[in-house]
Structure 1
């Protein structure tokens, strides 16, 4: 997640940086009984040991902290794209590969200094009934690189979100293989340049592969593998932005939570006036500013945030699994409900 470096009075300019039935009171029932078994099997495919296996690669020293456009980040990108290839998940047909180039000039014009060209990574599962409607699950796969010869591994920030997106994609692909793929299309979006200014998500929002008008939601995952001092040892997750644009999204997410691990959903930062301004500090904001409902899943500011001690051996993998399952369940609901969720707030 991007550090907050801009004073609060500049908020308008801020652009940086987290049995199976669901029911709610505001919308049509989202998942029919015939999907219950498919949901359960897909949900169970999300496993702590697989999250750990992938994170130890993504946050390894040889990824050199995954700074934007760096050789280490590109190596991480190869690992991610090979993962999708092995699962049989392709890229959007509009692209010739999994990569969407984010040009150096684009980032420089937005304060990106001398960053080299970089890439967003897009994996895609086409919906069976409403393929034109897109559910986005996002995370940034860059971190802050190497400083004074020391690797900043970024295991939580945002290796945890990166591997969660990969695992959620696997779960949806398991359902598709069983003949119960999502009704709406799923875009698994790994963005670059977040740490320098949300550049990858901004580039996607200005050069969308799918029309923004057809984008139903962005579920953004940025740091979900640790706990912060205020919640030490608790089974919780911060959820930010889920009721900013839609009266339904928060209700859907809370129902998904009760359906699964019943984590404590903490809304401390779900406030435009909160001094940390987290609503503006991760990649979901570049969807929200286009009036697309968002929910940002986050574990808080802990003692290893943006330090070289943010390593994979400090991740709580069981809690990472539960949080990943929550995002998956929320995405499953949104992808399979009869009606698209509403945008009824400004």
Structure 2
């Protein structure tokens, strides 16, 4: 998912020349100076154009669009001078289940003062993680479980004292304290934790035995409008193949419109706004909507597919068994909700640009000569379906994670022009910040904190799959302080993209009118990767970070 940020407060980038290594006697191992060569705009444009053409049908995994995408990436990686990255193969198989909800019924709520009928797409969306031919939720009791969080380490359990087995739970999006101005508090205040992500909420509902989980969509805490939910959930979905076929999951997961949720609660004699406020406080007790029953269903069109990650490697000149990652997801939504008769979500910005950047950088690194450490260029599948390709690689790494120094993730490059600022998603989590700060200072750009951490961008792209396994990953993008127009113009351009093109057929190559911002950012992507591949340091997560223990464990075992 692309991130475009405003930066209301800019400050001078701090230049840190140290990156501590757990194996180095010298705690001040210098971050090396690097030269950034001329990067090929034509390569970036040509690969983006091809990947986002109608011929590639939106690059949905398991389709003809995937076949074309994988073939193109192998061709381009070869031309760039890379070697096959998986023991002589260019690809890594990723077993997926393709599941499409068809023949959906309306979602009905009966038993309240005003029975309701919600239409699929317009009012609600739903799908299933169970690999079975049909799904039916019939006369299921409805329970409001606040934010749907069970966090023993925080003494917080929204499911305490209630049995939701076989019931439909209604859940709020984000964390209880997402409106807190500061990034501190029970759930890091405005900085979203994983408890705020919809993926977690469905996971916890399944652990609690719920039949169905419905998240109330609210644009601000969700960070996207209903149009994004509808386009993302009404087409084919992909799941990681599992031995039990998802039998331990809820029968259905979905979203409902905010106004429909308010009407539902009112019909049950409840004040939605008052309960939403109460759910922010520790000790909140789940509230049954007494007498209200939920019913809906759909058929599942199921196919098991083998998708693929594409992997190229540039072996290191001195320490080839130490690896630096560049990651980007090649997939997009394929066929989606039509707009003006166009039903192909081409995904030019998201993420043909990031994938084309892999090729562009590989080409530049090869021409400049191999660095000391090996560089791995990893184009992953099924990011749009829940980071499935990166998760599969992290669970089944070709190159040991304990020997993987760090990584740089690229997800949707800046299509609106060069900016004075660079935003780090999750700044302050790891020692990788120092590498970017040095690169940015050289390019006279300012590194700033993420201005909207409440939107949980840290958990929405492929770097998260590796972070969970302990590999330090950095994810940064342009801010909105445009060189030509400033913050106001940058914010307007970003909003225009999100409203008109993000996860929609309008995200096409022809809509990209300015490539200067992408090229400016590519310089930083190159510089950070080159620094990491030339230093002898092993950067780590900062003390106290949630991923530090996993990193220390993997390094001690390597």
Q: TM-score, normalised by structure 1?
A: 0.81
Measured in 1, the distance between the counterparts of 2:383 and 2:359 equals 18
Q: Does 1:267 align with 2:449?
A: yes
Does the 8 A contact of 1:239 with 1:266 survive in 2? Answer: yes
Say which SS state the counterpart of residue 195 (structure 1) adopts. coil
Deviations 1:224-264 (A, max 9, x none): 1324xxxx8744443213531x2x2101111011123x334
Backbone CA RMSD of aligned residues: 2.5
Does the 8 A contact of 2:92 with 2:309 survive in 1? Answer: yes
Residue 31 (structure 1) shift:
2.8
Say which SS state the counterpart of residue 123 (structure 1) adopts. strand
Does the 8 A contact of 2:61 with 2:331 survive in 1? Answer: yes
Does the 8 A contact of 2:324 with 2:529 survive in 1? Answer: yes
How many residues of Structure 1 are paired with residues of Structure 2 in the alignment?
A: 305
After TM superposition, which residue ranges in structure 1, 4 or more long, deviate above 6 angstroms?
A: 110-113
Q: Does 1:249 align with 2:432?
A: yes
Measured in 2, the distance between the counterparts of 1:95 and 1:157 equals 29
1:331 to 491, 514, 529: 529
Residue 341 (structure 1) shift:
2.0
Q: Does 1:107 align with 2:240?
A: yes
Q: TM-score, normalised by structure 2?
A: 0.51
1:163 to 320, 337, 356: 356
Question: 2:330 is matched with which residue?
Answer: 141
Residue 344 (structure 1) shift:
3.8
Question: 2:518 is matched with which residue?
Answer: 320
Does the 8 A contact of 1:133 with 1:215 survive in 2? Answer: yes
Q: Does 1:63 align with 2:56?
A: yes
Structure whose residues are more often strand by fraction: 2
Say which SS state the counterpart of residue 103 (structure 1) adopts. strand
Residue 83 (structure 1) shift:
0.8
Say which SS state the counterpart of residue 197 (structure 1) adopts. coil
Residue 115 (structure 1) shift:
6.0
Question: 1:174 is matched with which residue?
Answer: 367
Q: Does 1:202 align with 2:400?
A: no
Residues 145 and 317 from structure 1, CA distance in 2 versus in 1: closer, same or farther, beyond 3 angstroms? Answer: same
1:305 to 496, 502, 506: 502
Residue 298 (structure 1) shift:
3.6
Does the 8 A contact of 1:156 with 1:226 survive in 2? Answer: yes
Deviations 1:258-294 (A, max 9, x none): 123x33434225x8xx331111110000111111111
Does the 8 A contact of 1:219 with 1:327 survive in 2? Answer: yes
Measured in 2, the distance between the counterparts of 1:265 and 1:341 equals 19
Question: 2:108 is matched with which residue?
Answer: none
Residues 263 and 52 from structure 1, CA distance in 2 versus in 1: closer, same or farther, beyond 3 angstroms? Answer: farther
2:464 to 268, 285, 297: 285
